[in-house]
Structure 1
Amino acid sequence: MEEQGVTQVASSSVSKEAAKPDTVITVPADPRIPAPESTSRDFVWEGAGERIEYTATAGYIDVRSDTGSLIGKMFSVAYVAKVEEDAEPSDASASDIRISQRPVTFCYNGGPGSSSVPINLGGIGPVRVKTDGTNHLSLPTTLEDNPYTVLRQSDLVFLDALGTGYSAIAEGVDPKTVWGIDGDADAFCRAIIGWLDANHRWGSPVYLFGESYGTIRNAVLMRLLGEKCVPVRGVVMLSALFDWVQVLPGEDLYFLGMLPTFAAAARYFGRAGTKVDEAKWFDDAMEFTEAVYAPALLRGDRLPAREKTAVAKKMSRLIGLPADLIERYNLRIDLDTFRRSLLADEGRVIGRLDMRFASAAPLPLQASTEFFAGEDAADDAVEPVWAAAFRAHLHSIGFAGAPIYLTQNYAVVNRSWKWDHEEPGIGESSPAPNVTYDIAVALKRNPTMRIAILGGRYDAATTYWNVVHDISCLFLPPELKERVEFKLYSCGHMAYVDEPTLEAMGKDMAEFYAK
């Protein structure tokens, strides 16, 4: 499973938690027992008349406490372009170490419990696995130069969270100290500082690129890095989730966020809006959500029966389910119900990460909500091939790691996750965090920073309406609102699976880095 491992019954963020071996990998606390040595190989990327020579390095970054004790070893794959050196120092005694000023972007997926394989070989790295629309991939496959890689604008460092991939927690360290919102961000902060120092990159503009739970990590990390005197130049939030309230069962924000995404899926499968442009249909659903649907939900059973029936009929025309079903559910259609119902007459269920994907429905006795949340054709279609291709890619770099690479480790990491968060300026820990406050604090402290929020119309794991709503509730002054840009694509959660979206995203990233 690629992303969002949150297990909430009615949540937009539940992920595949099917039976997996409980695996906690640790490394000895004794630093004399080494991890595998880092390895590097030189490669050439070519595309659209461009040519970039770069070095790929696979290896570990020590994550250490303020007193120097080992917290863990974070596995990374870095791609560093070879650029022309600056002129020789005029002072013969000057250090021969040149401080690169090329941007460097630290990239990761989420989960919690996912490695960075999807965003690397699926998304923005210099090589990728070619996808095939909404069809399942299979072996054999080959890696190709990614024509839209962010390596064109920035060096890239892909990081695996502790407990995923080859990243390991040091022996004697309690996993609870790093498996939580604050502990995880702290570990990434230390790893990023360690990489910058080891690679003499203090002159480089720093960017963060996180997907899904990686956007929660981004929000906290952009504040923490600033507090450690690491100025962040830009932050990319792909498929974002910021306010935890929206994933709690029964919360109206959950149902509001889902409706435009349901409308997009209904149109895609010909169950609604067939004569309307995709973008307009989604925009109309966004407007309906705020102008009609939200006021109706807020009134609860105080909504007159006649008005309830009228809203149900309007919803039916938008999301393609029967009005009587919608009315019976008190206008609150959860994700499982929609996924099971839209194509029930065809014996199929639709995806969660990307609602354009569909597969044969499970048996009636397989009614477990947790099981169904993980039965997602959008994930099954790509993840196994990505994982196999990544192992081959590491061999091409020359890295020999352990036999088991935890592409995902949700069964352990996610189920152990501490969701409490010390909200900045609030003075207390919140069990239902809203990390937009971290974003606002970081942006106010560093008003030169830019933020790009990227979303997909077909993403039911991290719905677009919610993230737009969350940022609007920060009431940023105009000069800071201008630092935040939104991009909406015709894709699902893993935007790069959709090649037209990957192309559009590549152009948007080129503009973002040029600002």
Structure 2
Amino acid sequence: MKKLLLALFIASHISLMAQKDKEDPKVEPIPKPQSFVTTHKGVFGGKTLTYKATAKETYLKNEKGDSIASIWSVAYTQDGMVNSAQRPVTFIFNGGPGSASVWLHMGLFGPKIVKVDSDAKKDDGAAPYDLKTNENGLLDLTDMVFIDPVGTGYSRVVGKGKEKDFWGLKEDASSVAQFIRLWITENKRWFSPKYIAGESYGTTRAAAVGKALEGNGQNMALNGLILISQALDYDGSTSIHNNITSYVTYLPSMAATAWYHKKAGQGKNLADFIEECRKFTYDVYTPALYRGSLLTDSEKNSIAEKMSYFIGLDKDYILRSDLRILMHRFQKQLLADKGLSIGRLDGRFMGDEADKLSENPHLGDASSYQISSAYTAALNHYYASSLHIEMDRPYLTSNSKIGSKWRWRTVPEGSYWEPAPVNVSRSLGETMRRNTDMKVLVASGYYDLITPFFDAEYTFARNGIVKERVTMTYYEAGHMMYVHEPDLIKLSKDIREFLTTE
């Protein structure tokens, strides 16, 4: 009997241990966070400046104090500041979701930037590439902190953390807000003016982080947001069938791009041609889209003729498209007579594809694959040669796993939620009304065919946004307008003015 009881006890104990192991898998030891600090000197805004570069991992913790994620950042701070509390600090990130901060780091804000063909005529080719001192840098005005969200760059989940804790609209904003508070506290910068600069989904994140920073008993008010190629309301940047908003918001960008490629608007300057298209879009095209099949054949024919005038596509093709041109089709059709497709991020770029009849560019986005090797190599070279960074894993400029696992829901699990396009513009408007010092700079490229400039205008004219504190700027390039040398100079000047205007 005793042996039977002992056997039953052992079996029960083994079963419980197996269940415990299944519920609480072995957690890998958390390594010591890495940190690399170097000192540099450069000229910014005509001033010679000594600055410190701090590249490091910062561990985020849960409510129990367990480390759950490592955030990689590179901070450039003025050396020998007498009163650091008065010096602004700008937190910078790119988008995706799933992109590291390499693009803004190596293209616009960093002390060193990589040069690609400004006129979008040549591929970046193979190494070596052209890494230059950033003559338009802003370190004389603000310290900068480049942030790589979890899963990008060197940032990763650690300990008991899980990907789902970070890969979502609200989860991501919460983690970035936590990092910003940690950095500000560690560096004693609560009195410093604070800005966020984001690009693409990074603008979605910027608005969400601004809201998140107001909560958790540590209200941190931002002085401003720099939104490069804004994506606050996804209705206007999602070119799919039956999304009437997108047909409206994309048309002026198609017109600008057709003008650039000399397919429309010849003999007119770009600004006048765009303004003409704006009026047509608001006054004629939008009502026509809502009337749909109620339009007469004569009305359809008249509108198609005018659309052909603006976007350079054949009138019969526009009629067969029912006056609704999807962006991927426009990319393939505009230069079909030359056998070329145009870029999505930047319509100036062109790709020579083997399949001339595919509905969309089958090689991918020419404005991405024609510059990405240079950016990736430049960052890795710069990290190794200038910042002396040595890590045990590769730096991920992008992570394709993140997008497929991203949680777009804005409500907790179990709550009723009907899928809807992401829209953080209302949150931005509310944050601006609670924080009356907060201002916004919106930078848009005329040839951006993924986050169109007209969508920025459409979004910021609504949603309770305080227009008196919004500055809209425009550039003759695309999504990453800073790859175009004249616009790199202009954007830097516009940001400099934004940071120095009360």
TM-score by length of 2: 0.88
Maintained 8 Å contact 1:211/1:237:
yes
Residue of 146, 157, 161 corresponding to 1:173: 161
Q: Which residue of 2 aligns with 1:439?
A: 428
Write the distance in 2 (CA, Å) between the matches of 1:199 and 1:118. Answer: 25
Deviation at 1:66, TM superposition (A): 3.3
- Note the alpha carbon deviations across 1:6-41, whole angstroms, 9 max, x for none: xxxxxxxxxxxxxxxxxxxxxx96675224x21111
Q: What is the aligned partner in structure 2 of residue 6 from structure 1?
A: none
Q: Give the AA of the match of 2:347.
A: M
**Aligned pair partner of 1:145 in 108, 133, 141:** 133
Which is worse superposed, 414-423 or 160-169? 414-423
Counterpart-to-counterpart distance in 2, 1:242 and 1:465: 13
Deviations 1:135-187 (A, max 9, x none): 22242124222122232321010011101111001244231221110000001
Cα distance in 2, alignment partners of residues 71 and 172 from structure 1:
5
Residues 31/195 of structure 1: CA separation in 2 closer, same or farther (3 Å cut):
farther
**1:136 aligns to 2:133 (yes or no):** no
Partner of 2:390: 400
Match of 1:461 in 2: 450
Distance in 1, Cα, partners of 2:327 & 2:225:
29
Match of 1:103 in 2: 88
What is the deviation of 1:83?
Answer: 4.7
Structure 1: 5+ residue stretches without partners: 1-27, 87-98
Q: How big is the shift at 1:248?
A: 6.2
Change (3 A) 1:333 1:107: same
Paired amino acid for 1:79: Y
Q: Provide the rounded CA distance (Å) in 1 between the counterparts of 2:145 and 2:44.
A: 21
RMSD over aligned CA atoms reads 2.1
Gaps of 5+ in 2: 1-25
Percent of aligned pairs with the same amino acid? 34
Contact 1:422 1:429 survives alignment (8 Å): no
User: 2:223 aligns to what?
Assistant: 233
Whole-Å Cα distance in 2 between the matches of residues 365 and 71 of structure 1? Answer: 49
Contact 2:44–2:138 (8 Å) recurs in 1: no
CA distance in 2, matches of 1:323, 1:461: 24
Query: Contact between 1:420 and 1:429, CA under 8 Å: does it hold in 2?
Result: no
Task: Select the residue among 235, 245, 249 that pairs with 1:253.
Answer: 245
User: CA contact under 8 A between 1:421 and 1:431: conserved in structure 2?
Assistant: no
Cα drift, residue 361 of structure 1? 2.2
Any conservation in 1 of the 2:68–2:157 contact (CA below 8 Å)? yes
* Segment drifting more, 54-63 vs 211-220: 54-63
For the residues of structure 1 that align with 2:481 and 2:140, how far apart are their CA atoms? 19
Note the 1:300-449 alignment, pairs <5 A. Answer: 300-363=292-355, 372=362, 375-395=364-384, 396-410=386-400, 412-422=401-411, 431-449=420-438
Cα distance between partner residues in 1 of 2:491 and 2:113: 15
Listed one character per residue, the Cα deviations across residues 284-341 of structure 1 (whole Å, up to 9, x for unaligned) are 2222211111111111111111111000000001100001100110100111111111
Cα displacement (A) at 1:123? 1.4
Equivalent residue, structure 2, for 1:25: none
What is the correspondence of 1:86-235 to structure 2 with a 5 Å cutoff? 86=83, 99-133=84-118, 134=120, 135-138=122-125, 139-227=127-215, 228-235=218-225
* Cα deviation digits, residues 86-122 of structure 1 (max 9, x gap): 5xxxxxxxxxxxx532111100000011000000011
TM-score, normalization by structure 1: 0.86
1:66 matched to 2:63: yes
Structure of greater relative contact order (alpha carbons < 8 Å, 6+ residues apart): 1
Structure 2 CA distance for aligned equivalents of residues 29 and 201 of structure 1: 35
Q: Does structure 1 residue 52 correspond to structure 2 residue 49?
A: yes
Aligned residues: 466
2:485 equivalent among 499, 504, 515: 499
Distance change >3 Å, CA 201–CA 52, structure 1 → 2: same
